[in-house]
Amino acid sequence: MSGEITILYFARLREAVGIPEERISLPQVGMTAGSLLAHLAANDEAKRTAFDGIDIKIAVNQQQADPTTPIKPGDEVAFFPPVTGG
Amino acid sequence: MPVRIQPHAFDAGAELAALTQGRGDIGASVTFVGQMREFSDGTKLNAMTLEHYPAMAQAELERIEMQARERFDVTDLEIIHRYGELHPGDPIVLVIATSKSRQPAFDAASFIMDYLKTSAPFWKKESSPEGETWVDARKTDDDATARWQRD
């Protein structure tokens, strides 16, 4: 099984990051949504700036998640600001 | 289809009729329509764009609908949420709840809207002559959802 995951960004976070979606290889086993976010920020200045000051909500495989949610190969991880529909 | 996410407008009257016509078992129905206001904090808006996370939005709305079905004695529920570009006065969201008596219908419609506001992945971007602005989440919406968690 490939160690790749899909990451999605939405709304103002998508604009700040500059892309709606990317695929990356998990850098290590035992990652969580929170450690993934930290990894992305640590390796990309633009993302570090984008994540700064935005209240980031998380979903893993289309379900609400939090920074402690485990991430495994094949997962779809979404990062987005608080929702404003309705 | 109890949950629909679509770019085009809906006809609330036709949706209500489809759920209730000829149904002698239904004694009450509540129809909620949320529509776009022309002013936002004193700024006159031209348009609004609703972005969404399609797969999760469908799953979340179905989950909320299921919770409402389990919690309230309703006959039927329907949720329609639009995405894409909207203009002032355009309908955004429709919730219909039908029941034997009025209270479960009122409660289910209110419950669905409160949870939809705080957990369904949709984001509004307002457009005015001054530019485009993402709408901020409101604490009053979190408070409205929290009241369902007390009892």
Q: Which residue of A has its CA nearest to B58?
A: A62
Mean model confidence pLDDT for chain A: 94
Q: What's the pLDDT at B37?
A: 95
Q: What's the pLDDT at B151?
A: 56
- For B119, the closest of A8, A14, A64 (CB atoms) is A64
**B42 CB-contact burial (10 Å; exposed 0-12 / middle 13-18 / buried 19+):** exposed
Cβ B53–A63 below 8 Å, yes or no? no
Per-residue pLDDT of B103-116, as tens digits, reads 999 999 999 999 99
Chain A positions touching B56 (Cβ under 8 A) are 59, 62-63, 78
**Domain range B3-149, CATH class:** alpha beta
ipTM for the predicted complex comes to: 0.94
pTM: 0.94
User: With bands split at pLDDT 50, 70 and 90, how would you rate the model's confidence at A54?
Assistant: confident
Q: What's the pLDDT at B139?
A: 87
Contact yes or no for A55/A44 (Cβ under 8 A): no
In A1-86, beta strands by DSSP E: 4-9, 21-25, 57-60, 63-65, 76-80
Non-local (6+) Cβ contacts of B40 within 8 A are B126, B128, B133, B135
Tens-digit pLDDT string for chain B (151 aa): 699 999 999 999 999 999 999 999 999 999 999 999 999 888 999 999 999 999 999 999 999 999 999 999 999 999 999 999 999 999 999 999 999 999 999 999 999 999 999 999 999 999 999 999 999 998 899 899 999 986 5
Cβ A85–B137 below 8 Å, yes or no? no
Res. A2: pLDDT tops 70: no
**Domain range A4-80, CATH class:** alpha beta
User: What residue spans define the domains of chain B?
Assistant: 3-149
Q: What's the pLDDT at B136?
A: 93
